[in-house]
Amino acid sequence: MTTNADTDLFRTTEDHEALREAVRAVSRDKIAPFAAAVDEDSRYPQEAHDALVAADFHAAHVAEEHGGVGADALAVCIIIEEVARVCASSSLIPAVNKLGSMPVILGGDADINARYMPRLASGEGFFSYGLSEREAGSDTAGMRAKATRDGDDWVLKGTKAWITNAGISEFYTVLAVTDPDGERGRNISAFVVEKGDEGFGFGEKERKLGIKGSPTRELHLDDVRIPGDRIIGGEGDGLRIALRTLDHTRITIGAQAVGIAQGAIDEALAYVKERQQFGRAVADFQGIQFMLADMAMEVEAARQMVYVAAAKSQRGDADLTYFGAAAKCYASDVAMKVTTDAVQLLGGAGYTRDFPLERMMRDAKITQIYEGTNQVQRLVMARQLLAGLPSTR
C-alpha cells in the first residue's frame, strides 16, 4: 500500500505555528524575566497576567460569540506549553481559566454562558474550579460540601481544598451535594459562586514545593446564598459535568508538563555546550549526548500525545477519556524525569537557584498529582481498555 506522506502526517497548521511564535515572544519578553522572582517571593505573576490579557492568551478558548478568540483545543495547549516553557506558575492562568469555565461551557445553558463568558474573555474576571476537598480528592463522589434549596435560591456550606488561583479569580465553579439521600455521585450539582458573595472566603495560601506563583487556597462556604440561575445544568448533573470537564482539561496539564520539560532541555543544552571539562565541551561526551537524545525523544513523544488528545477533545471523540488520561499521565512522568536529568547535566550548578532547573524540577512534580494523580489516570485508562476503548487499530 502506498501513502501520501504530506496528507497522512499529523501536523499543526500555519495558524498554530504563528500562534506559537506570538506566545513565545510574549513569554520570552514579558514573563521569563520575572519567573525567578515570582518563585522566590511566592507571589502571583501579575506581569504575566497583564501580558496574557493584553494578548488575548489568558482564556483563548472562549467562543467568538462571547467576545473570545475561539481558539481550538490544540491552540490552547500551545499557549500553555509555551508559557510553561519559561514559567509554570504563569501557565496556570490560561489552564485554570479553561478548567474553571469548562463546566459552564459544557453543561450550562445559553443564559449562564452569556453572563460569564464575556467577562472571562475580556479579562474582567477569571475562573477557578472547586471540586476537591481534604477528604475527597480522588474520591470526588465523597464530597461533603452541601447546597440546600431555599425558595428560588441555593445556600452553600462547606469547604473546598487545593483550589488553584483562589483569591485571584472572580468566579468559581463549585460542586456540592444537593440530595444527601440520593444515589452517590448522582446527587451532586455544580454552581457558579462569585468572589463577592456574602459568606464566601478563602483560607491561607498553601506553602508548596513548586508553582509558588500560583496561589492555592481553600474555599470557605459559610451559608453562601446564590440565586437559582447560577446552577450549571440540571440538579444532580454536577459530577457528570465535572468528569467531562476533566476529560478535556487533563490535556492542558499534559501541555504544561511538555512546556516545563522543553524549558529544561533548553537550559541544559545551553549549559553543556558552554561548560568545559577535560579540555572539551561537556556536550562532546557520548554519555551526555545519549542523555540529551533520550530527553528530547521522550518530550517529543509526549508532545505528540498531547496534540493528538487535543484534536480528539476538539472533535469530542468517544475515546477522549482514554487519550486525555494517557496524555496527562505520560507527559507529566516525562516532565519529572527530564527535569531531574537536566539538573544532573548541570551537576552542582543545577542544584542552585542560579539556574532555573531546580525550579522546573519542583514545578514538574505537581503535574503528576493535580487533575487526577497518575495512579488514577492509569485506572481510567485500564477501565477504558476493558470497556473496549480506544478502538483497536
Q: Residue 34 has which C-alpha cell?
A: 520575572
- Residue 15 CA, chain-centre distance (Å), reads 22
The reported pLDDT for the residue numbered 281 is 97
Cα distance between residue 224 and residue 157, in whole Å? 7
The pLDDT of residue 390 is 85
Q: Where are the domains of the chain?
A: 5-122, 127-238, 240-386
| The pLDDT value given to residue 389 | 87
- CA distances in angstroms from 25 to 30, 31, 72, 266, listed in the order given: 8, 9, 20, 15
Q: How far is residue 67's CA from residue 75's CA, in Å, rounded to a whole number?
A: 17
The architecture CATH gives domain 240-386: Up-down Bundle (1.20)
Predicted confidence (pLDDT) per residue in 7-19, tens digit = 445 689 999 999 9
pLDDT at 393 (0 to 100)? 57
CATH of region 127-238, choose from 1.20.1260.10, 3.30.43.10, 2.40.110.10, 3.40.50.720: 2.40.110.10
Q: Which pTM was predicted?
A: 0.96
Is the alpha carbon torsion for 371, 64, 236, 223 positive or negative?
positive
Q: In this structure, how many other beta carbons lie within 10 angstroms of the beta carbon of residue 270?
A: 12
What's the CATH superfamily of 5-122?
A: Acyl-CoA dehydrogenase/oxidase, N-terminal domain (1.10.540.10)
DSSP bridge pairs for 334: none
Q: Catalytic positions, please?
A: 371
pLDDT tens column, 39-61: 999 999 999 999 999 999 999 99
Q: How far apart are CA 153 and CA 310, in angstroms?
A: 37
> What is the model's pLDDT at position 11?
82
pLDDT, residue 5, reads 43
Query: Which residues on neighbouring strands pair with residue 280, listed in sequence order?
Result: 277
- Rounded CA-CA distance 192/194 in Å is 7
Terminal alpha carbon distance of the chain: 16
Note the maximum CA span of the chain: 80
List the one residue out of 124, 131, 129, 126 whose CA is nearest residue 145. Answer: 131
CB atoms under 10 Å from CB of 157, counted, come to 16
- Taking the CB of residue 376, how many other CB atoms lie within 10 A of it? 16
pLDDT lower than 70: segments of the chain: 1-10, 391-393
pLDDT, position 379: 97
Task: Tell me the helices (H) and strands (E) count for the chain, helix number first.
Answer: 12, 10
